[in-house]
Structure 1
Amino acid sequence: MRISPTDRPTPSPTLWLARGRYVGDDDAADVVRRTLKRLRGADVLDDQHELPGTEGVAEQFFEARWTVDAAVTVRARLTLKTASPGGREWVLAAEAERAWDQEWPSPATMFWPDEPNAAWDHEPATDLRLRGVHRLPTDDKDIRRLLRSAVRGGWSVNVVVHEAMTPDERGSRPLGPLLPPGLRHRVLEHRAAPDQLRIVNRALREFGVQVPRGGAVLLPTHPAPAGFDGDDFAVRTVFLDGSRPVELVDALARFVALPPPLPEGGPEAVAALRDDWQLRTVEEELERQRGLVAMYADALEAMTKSRDLYREAAERAHEALDAYRDSDGALAQPGPAAPPAGSPFQQLSRTLERLKGSARGLRPAGDAKPEADPPGDSASD
């Protein structure tokens, strides 16, 4: 399921994430295997491992573990995506036992050769090199289109540098090698010529930032990290003389310390690193098995409680059913019949009585016969 930028969670400060594309002629997996084997033999890595492939899945997975500051363990997982005509994309997720220090070695150089002409550090959306310097186009529409692609996904840290004057050979070199190791393979450097200041700043209005003359500015990711203010990440002066840009390094360190959301595809990479990790020591495997035993014990206890509760509920249901049947039987017993409101014979009798009374009232008066005189009476008497 695709996760929108606003739904992506905030990463832990212990994480280091990067993405790139390998465009070399040699097989990418072979290049990674040779690098891991060489560093393991030189004791740079504590251990390394290639996960067995899954049938029907073209991706390949490599794991490595090393120690920094003598006691901090770093675990990293590299995923080689399916090969395409444009090269082979890779995603790298690393996590330390404490907050990440940008002076630690770059996890990318634990899997890829740290050589200037290596072909593994191309940014997938723009095909620009992460360790190179890139001139901006001359048209503002092309500048906006390029920078939109560069910030899309949130994997890279993009910096726009304006040249106050045309630099010499040392100033024309990329700033990437002068950055701390933890930033070298995460930063895309865009250069603006001295006469491009106005057109570049017109294109940068879309991103809510402006580059000072002879300075630099960091572009926000999409969405912008919480607490990002373009003025706070604009460097007034960048000396392009081959020296380390101290102010720019400070701005980059403050930028990566902000809590930006995980890049697109980052949650899946972090979940795979934490949940599917297989390069364990004996102690880690023992601790894992103990955790599994505890988890199974909790699950069994929960199932037992659920079974007891189900049994108790079933018994109560049977009792309620029996009580209902008893009460229903008592209600079904016949009682004394109630006297009817009136039988048909009684209703007929009352009807005839009413008709008889009506007939008497309708008899004419002339129909009555006079009564006979009593015997012995006469008119003369």
Structure 2
Amino acid sequence: MPSSPSSRPMTPPTVWSARGRHLGAAAQDVLRLSLRQLKDSLAIDDFLEVPETEDARESVFEARWQVAGTVTVRARLTVEHDSAGAQEWVLVAEAEAPWDQRWPSPAAMFWPQDPDAAWDHDTATGLRLRDINPLPEDDKAVRRVLREAAGDGWSIHVVVHEAMTTDQRGRAPLAGMLPPGLRHRVVEHRAAPSQHRVVNWALREHDVQVPRGGAVVLPGPGAPSGYDVDDFSVRSVFLDGSEPAELIHAVTRFAALPRPLPDGAEEALTALREDWRLLTLEEELARERRLVAMYAEALEAMTKSRDLYREAAEQAHAALTAYRETAEAVPEPRPEPSAEEPASPLQQLTRTFERLKGTARTRRAPATATAAEEEPQPSDR
């Protein structure tokens, strides 16, 4: 069961995260080819595919690059093994400084940016991350899609209502106008002119409404601290090919709000920090030095414990020796005789014979008296 937003840790300011779905199989092959090309073009410093165990359920790729000249970014992407129809992936990146949305998107440091690439599908709704997604015509389907969007903690979902049917100029995706760091985290939903009422009916349970001809940024599960629907609603969006500055500003401000890590992101971030394999030579030397220092501390602690044990044993031995010498010097006290000395075995045997002798005498006396009474007396003549 997913944990509540309030029970999850907050997203660190240095972290960028995204989740998506690659349609079809062989996502690992796409990543290997893309990462090789990015390294050859110097877009990334290096990459690594982590060797898999026999029971592994996913493949792991690591990459490292520089932003703003001196800031290092480390990123870890996991993609599940081939499954029927789609492969889910999770990408977490962490920089040495607070994340700037003007930096390149980490997704672009792993995946190819071809328009027809199959990796950029939102996991919650299955919709594209870099394109416009018209809402379904069926009212129930609209409600289902928006409910899925409102419950997604990974992507930022924006609902735009067209005041009138747009031409080709109004079909420009919002993603291409956003800062690079947001282009692969935003899902754009488009409502046709006739869908304004049904969209607001579907969003009513989330306490959100879309202005006619405007747009709104959905709060997601557990509205972030500082979210006010009026602050993230845009009254008018001109879909004429011009840059919707007010909407871009609303999306950028929303992305900057403190938000809890989405379900599964905490484990991915922990793996990035603790299981990192792609080390530079300097990092390997630093790690070895830390290991040597750790072993030295452990050895010192063991030596100190051994010395303390030896000292305690010597003190105990000295105390035992002193006790024995004192015990030998003091004569053992003789037990005081009791008020009545116990009888010896010979005395006890003598007393027993005396008792038996007395008993025999007592028994013979009545017998003699009886015999005397029965003896006939001589008669007088």
| TM bracket, shorter-chain basis | 0.7 to 0.9
Which residue is equivalent to 1:253? 252
Which residue is equivalent to 1:23? 23
Distance in 2 (alpha carbons) for counterparts of 1:166 and 1:106: 32
Which residue is equivalent to 1:121? 120
Return the offset for 1:216. Answer: 0.9
In structure 1, what residue type is equivalent to 2:253? R
- Conservation of the 8 A alpha-carbon contact between 2:15 and 2:93: yes
Distance in 1 (alpha carbons) for counterparts of 2:78 and 2:87: 10
In structure 2, what residue type is equivalent to 1:234? S
* 2:98 is equivalent to residue 99 of structure 1: yes
Query: Secondary structure at the residue paired with 2:249?
Result: helix
Relative to the length of structure 1, the TM-score reads 0.78
Return the offset for 1:241. Answer: 1.3
Distance in 1 (alpha carbons) for counterparts of 2:236 and 2:307: 73
Which residue is equivalent to 2:133? 134
Query: Secondary structure at the residue paired with 2:116?
Result: coil
In structure 1, what residue type is equivalent to 2:286? E
* 2:234 is equivalent to residue 206 of structure 1: no
In structure 2, what residue type is equivalent to 1:276? D
Q: Which runs of 5+ in 1 are unaligned?
A: 320-332, 339-381
Q: How does 1:298-313 map to 2 (within 5 A)?
A: 298-302=297-301
Query: Secondary structure at the residue paired with 1:280?
Result: coil
Distance in 1 (alpha carbons) for counterparts of 2:3 and 2:97: 27
1:79-123 deviation digits (Å, cap 9, x = unpaired): 111322131111111111111111211111111110111100111
Distance in 1 (alpha carbons) for counterparts of 2:176 and 2:214: 18
Which residue is equivalent to 1:171? 170
Return the offset for 1:174. Answer: 2.1
Bigger mean CA deviation after superposition, 279-288 or 202-211: 202-211
Relative to the length of structure 2, the TM-score reads 0.78
Which residue is equivalent to 2:83? 84
Which residue is equivalent to 2:72? 73
Distance in 1 (alpha carbons) for counterparts of 2:69 and 2:132: 34
1:319-355 deviation digits (Å, cap 9, x = unpaired): 9xxxxxxxxxxxxx999989xxxxxxxxxxxxxxxxx
- Conservation of the 8 A alpha-carbon contact between 1:153 and 1:264: no
Bigger mean CA deviation after superposition, 135-144 or 180-189: 135-144
Distance in 2 (alpha carbons) for counterparts of 1:140 and 1:337: 110
Query: Secondary structure at the residue paired with 1:203?
Result: helix
Which residue is equivalent to 1:271? 270
Do the aligned partners of residues 192 and 309 (structure 1) sit closer, same or farther apart at CA in structure 2, a change above 3 Å counting? farther
Which residue is equivalent to 1:322? none
Which residue is equivalent to 2:13? 13
Do the aligned partners of residues 263 and 305 (structure 1) sit closer, same or farther apart at CA in structure 2, a change above 3 Å counting? farther
Which residue is equivalent to 1:60? 59
Do the aligned partners of residues 300 and 197 (structure 1) sit closer, same or farther apart at CA in structure 2, a change above 3 Å counting? farther
Return the offset for 1:274. Answer: 1.0
- Conservation of the 8 A alpha-carbon contact between 2:104 and 2:180: yes
In structure 2, what residue type is equivalent to 1:56? D
Distance in 1 (alpha carbons) for counterparts of 2:75 and 2:281: 18
Do the aligned partners of residues 308 and 11 (structure 1) sit closer, same or farther apart at CA in structure 2, a change above 3 Å counting? farther
In structure 2, what residue type is equivalent to 1:137? P
Return the offset for 1:53. Answer: 1.2
Distance in 1 (alpha carbons) for counterparts of 2:143 and 2:314: 72
Distance in 1 (alpha carbons) for counterparts of 2:275 and 2:18: 19
- Conservation of the 8 A alpha-carbon contact between 1:135 and 1:192: yes
Query: Secondary structure at the residue paired with 1:54?
Result: coil
- Conservation of the 8 A alpha-carbon contact between 1:50 and 1:61: yes
In structure 1, what residue type is equivalent to 2:19? R
Distance in 2 (alpha carbons) for counterparts of 1:4 and 1:307: 50
Query: Secondary structure at the residue paired with 1:49?
Result: strand
Which residue is equivalent to 2:322? none
Do the aligned partners of residues 255 and 317 (structure 1) sit closer, same or farther apart at CA in structure 2, a change above 3 Å counting? farther
- Conservation of the 8 A alpha-carbon contact between 1:83 and 1:89: no
Distance in 1 (alpha carbons) for counterparts of 2:139 and 2:317: 80
Query: Secondary structure at the residue paired with 1:228?
Result: coil
Which residue is equivalent to 2:217? 218
Return the offset for 1:154. Answer: 0.8
In structure 1, what residue type is equivalent to 2:279? R
Return the offset for 1:296. Answer: 3.3
Which residue is equivalent to 2:323? none
Do the aligned partners of residues 219 and 336 (structure 1) sit closer, same or farther apart at CA in structure 2, a change above 3 Å counting? farther
Which residue is equivalent to 1:372? none
Do the aligned partners of residues 233 and 316 (structure 1) sit closer, same or farther apart at CA in structure 2, a change above 3 Å counting? farther
Distance in 2 (alpha carbons) for counterparts of 1:317 and 1:165: 95
Do the aligned partners of residues 312 and 199 (structure 1) sit closer, same or farther apart at CA in structure 2, a change above 3 Å counting? farther
In structure 1, what residue type is equivalent to 2:142? I
Q: How does 1:202-351 map to 2 (within 5 A)?
A: 202-302=201-301
Distance in 2 (alpha carbons) for counterparts of 1:298 and 1:263: 39
Do the aligned partners of residues 334 and 2 (structure 1) sit closer, same or farther apart at CA in structure 2, a change above 3 Å counting? farther
Return the offset for 1:243. Answer: 2.0
Distance in 2 (alpha carbons) for counterparts of 1:297 and 1:228: 51
Return the offset for 1:173. Answer: 3.2
Task: State the identity as a percent.
Answer: 63
Distance in 2 (alpha carbons) for counterparts of 1:287 and 1:197: 59
